[in-house]
Amino acid sequence: MKEGAMAQAKGKGRILVGVGIVVVVLCAAAFAFDRYALATTYARHEEPSVSLLPSYEMYERDYPRSDVQFELNGRVLRGHVYGQDNDRGLIIFRHGIFSQHEHYLPFITAMADKGWRVFAYDAIGCGDSDGDSALGMSQSPIDVAAAVDFARESGMAEGMRIGLWGHSWGGYGVAAALAKRPDDVSACVTMSGFDTPMKILDSSAASAYGLAGKAQWPFLWLNTAIDFGSDANLSASDAIVSSGVPTLVFHGTGDTTVPYEGVSILHALQQRDASLAQARISLTTLSQEGRCGHNDYFYGPESQAYLQECAADLEELLAQAGENPDDPAVRAYLEGVDLRRANTADPEIVATIDAFFGETLSQR
Specify the pLDDT at position 49.
Answer: 85
At 73, give phi and psi (nearest 5°). 50, 45
Q: Give mean pLDDT, residues 325-339.
A: 94
Percentage with pLDDT > 90 across the chain: 77
The pTM (predicted TM-score) of the whole model is 0.92
Q: Please state which of the ranges 31-35, 304-308, 342-346, 355-359 shows the lowest mean pLDDT.
A: 31-35
Rounded to an integer, the average pLDDT of 318-334 is 94
- The residue ranking higher by pLDDT, 104 or 363, is 104
- Sign, Cα dihedral of 40, 44, 45, 49: negative
Least confident span in 124-128, 167-171, 204-208, 280-284: 204-208
> How much is the average pLDDT of 347-353?
97
Q: Which pLDDT band holds residue 47 (cuts at 50, 70, 90)?
A: confident
What average pLDDT does range 61-74 have in this prediction?
96
Query: What's the pLDDT score for residue 364?
Result: 42
Residue 12 pLDDT grade (very low, low, confident, very high; cuts 50, 70, 90): low
Query: 245 pLDDT band (50/70/90 cuts)?
Result: very high
pLDDT at 162 over 70: yes
Q: Is the pLDDT of residue 87 over 90?
A: yes
Q: What's the chain's average pLDDT?
A: 91
Whether the per-residue pLDDT at 6 is higher than 60: the answer is no
- Per the model's pLDDT, the better-predicted residue between 34 and 184 turns out to be 184
What is residue 214's predicted lDDT score, i.e. its pLDDT? 78
Model confidence at 296: pLDDT above 60: yes
Residue 92 pLDDT > 90: yes
Please, which pLDDT band fits residue 195 given cuts at 50, 70 and 90? very high
pLDDT value of position 23: 60
CATH 3.40.50.1820 domain range(s) in the chain: 54-196+234-298+348-360
Among 35-44, 226-235, 272-281, 331-340, the minimum mean pLDDT is found in 272-281
The CATH code of the domain at 54-196+234-298+348-360 is: 3.40.50.1820
